[in-house]
């Protein structure tokens, strides 16, 4: 692939903008300046740098973001900042989108990708992917509430009760809830139907992939093959 196409596929602007970046001496590979937009480069294990910032070539972007509160999972947010403000602009340029959504006040594990098949696979209602949340509740938890969540609660507009895969108390006001669906405000609605209220909500895990303890709030990282395998194995 020529160098212009590499930058173009990785979200560095239009083809003309990519040619200009290269020709003006902004791009290096292995520390060596590459100023020919038409130069052929191997994309296998390729890492290039633009203005000193290293970028690994990825045919598709698979990302994990530790989402903070106060951000909307939308390119056109209504009342808060977009989660895309937390990412380099190249990702939006190449069409990265959220894999499902978290409410603006919900924190934790958020996946993003520009791979349409991947996005569909993990948002399709037909694919039952377990998601683990930690909810802080307004009122103390009791066995009646936990039992109702495990057995199933009827949500407004739904034809039949929805049951959690598991519902366990981690503390008097700390609920660990695992669900398979991804319905609108599902966890909050389920907890309300069980007789309590969610004050704060944090997603810890999707499938077999957990939020890394070392990833700071608001930070992101690439997902590698091992991560993707964990995600699918869950």
Annotated catalytic sites, by residue? 103
Helix/strand/coil (H/E/C) assignment for every residue in 178-191: EECCCCCCHHHHHH
Distance CA 176, CA 132 (A): 7
Distance CA 150, CA 50 (A): 51
Write down how long the chain is: 234
Dihedral sign from CA coordinates of 88, 94, 95, 98: negative
CA distances from 84 to 44, 74, 96 (A): 28, 8, 9
Residue the block writes with tokens 């602007």 = 13
User: 36-58: string of b/e by CB count within 10 Å (b at 16+)?
Assistant: ebeeebeeeebebbbeeeebebb
Distance CA 211, CA 195 (A): 29
In the chain, alpha helices (H):
3-9, 15-23, 89-93, 116-123, 143-151, 186-193, 225-233
């Amino acid at each position: 692939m020529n160098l212009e196409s590499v930058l173009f596929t990785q979200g560095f602007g239009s083809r003309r903008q990519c040619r200009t970046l290269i020709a003006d001496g902004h791009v290096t590979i292995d520390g060596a300046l590459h100023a020919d937009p038409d130069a052929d480069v191997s994309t296998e294990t390729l890492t290039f740098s633009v203005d000193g910032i290293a970028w690994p070539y990825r045919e598709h972007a698979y990302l994990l973001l530790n989402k903070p509160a106060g951000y909307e999972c939308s390119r056109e947010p209504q009342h808060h900042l977009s989660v895309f403000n937390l990412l380099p602009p190249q990702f939006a340029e190449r069409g990265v989108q959220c894999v499902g959504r978290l409410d603006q006040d919900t924190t934790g594990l958020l996946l993003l990708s520009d791979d349409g098949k991947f996005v569909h696979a993990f948002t399709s209602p037909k694919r039952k992917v377990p998601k683990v949340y930690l909810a802080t509740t307004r009122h103390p938890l009791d066995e009646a509430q936990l039992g109702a969540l495990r057995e199933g609660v009827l949500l407004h507009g739904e034809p039949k009760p929805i049951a959690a895969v598991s519902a366990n108390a981690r503390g008097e006001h700390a609920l660990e809830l695992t669900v398979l669906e991804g319905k609108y405000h599902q966890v909050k609605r389920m907890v309300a139907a069980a007789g309590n209220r969610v004050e704060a909500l944090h997603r810890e895990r999707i499938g077999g992939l957990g939020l890394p303890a070392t990833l700071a709030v608001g930070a992101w990282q690439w997902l590698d093959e091992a991560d993707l395998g964990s995600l699918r194995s869950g």
